[in-house]
């Protein structure tokens, strides 16, 4: 099969297939806390071409997953405004289970979030995010 014959599933659309579980907790004054567990199989399209001999989940996919969880928690599409203070401190390999937690607080026309991505209970990335309603 040549590259032009391959069928690709958009990464954002395939996130739901990688999600094992999710939970939502409503907090005070419209804030929410969302948590979800994911496993990205070796066949996940984001691994293709990203360190071909040693597949690692790209950082942009971790950030996209934060947006995905945020949209699921709030119940509507979000537009990214900013990510900040991001620290990547570990790699996510195919087949590893990760837990992603985001706490979202409404602030005027934005939702401000703080997120953590953990593997085996240890942070592999964390930071802040700002979204607006799409």
Distance of CA 4 to the CA centre of its chain: 28
- Residue 134 and residue 71 in contact, taking contact as beta carbons nearer than 8 Å: no
Tokens 């979800």 belong to 36
Using alpha carbons only, give the angle 34, 99, 48 rounded to the nearest 5 degrees. Answer: 115
Cα–Cα distance, 72 to 64 (Å, whole number): 12
**Contacts for 92 with CB less than 8 Å, ≥ 6 apart:** 40, 56, 57, 62, 98, 117, 119, 124
Residues of the chain with pLDDT under 70: 1-9, 50, 52
Q: For position 47, what pLDDT does the model report?
A: 84
pLDDT at residue 3, as a whole number: 47
Q: What is the pLDDT of residue 134?
A: 84
């Amino acid at each position: 099969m040549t590259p032009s014959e391959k069928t690709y599933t958009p990464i954002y659309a395939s996130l739901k297939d990688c999600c094992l579980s999710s939970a939502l907790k409503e907090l005070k004054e419209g804030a929410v806390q969302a948590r979800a567990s994911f496993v990205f199989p070796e066949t996940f399209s984001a691994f293709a071409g990203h360190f071909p001999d040693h597949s690692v989940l790209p950082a942009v996919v971790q950030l996209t997953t934060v947006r995905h969880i945020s949209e699921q928690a709030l119940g509507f599409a979000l537009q990214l405004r900013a990510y900040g203070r991001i620290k990547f401190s570990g790699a996510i390999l195919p087949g590893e289970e990760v837990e992603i937690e985001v706490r979202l607080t409404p602030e005027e026309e934005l939702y401000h979030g703080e997120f953590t991505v953990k593997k085996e209970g240890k942070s592999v990335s964390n930071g802040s995010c700002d979204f607006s309603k799409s």
